[in-house]
Amino acid sequence: MPTSDAEGKDWSLERFKRVQPKTVCDVGPGEGTYAKLFRPHEPDEPGVWWTGIEVHGPYVKRYRLKSTKTRKMYDELHVMDVREALDHLFHRDLVIFGDVLEHMPREDAVALLRRAKQAGCWNILVSLPIVESEQGEVDGNPHEAHLHQWDADDMDQVLAQLGGRTEAMRGGTLGCWWWSRRA
């Protein structure tokens, strides 16, 4: 679904405020959960440059994902499968994979995390269900289907292989991880 459970959002916001990224790439923004949560806590000037990569084009209009003079969401928006995105889109202070990695095969998700690191991102935020959460197509969007059921230990191991430092929050439904290039 283009929405996300509230679990872990306060935890994620605290890390965002601590790191104060100047550039963010939000993969699979859906309704713009993280932009809505984080943008009010960013510095006024010069602000943070937000890039969104959304696979389902109808969400762009439905959730008004593009920034306007009166509403800040995404400064740059790409409608495409993130697995086909150019590497420079991951060269950001923060790359967010918020409730998106479960929508692709495990090997694609792992490759994407490695690719983000190799492209030069400084921090990665991952949020995903850590309980059995079968889901098919939603609202005519086949990309909403869950193709892999993650468990927290598996994500711990995947992020450990990236090196750096990882913090984790395991909730009742969602797990959240903040990976940082800085050890």
Domains of the chain, residue spans: 9-180
| Residue 34: predicted pLDDT | 96
| Residue 132: predicted pLDDT | 73
**Residue 43 pLDDT exceeds 70:** yes
Q: What is the pLDDT of residues 62-91, one digit of tens each?
A: 888 987 877 788 999 999 999 999 999 999
- When pLDDT is averaged across residues 46-61 and rounded to a whole number, the result is 90
Length of the chain: 183
Domain 9-180 CATH (choose: 3.40.50.880, 3.90.226.10, 3.30.60.50, 3.40.50.150): 3.40.50.150
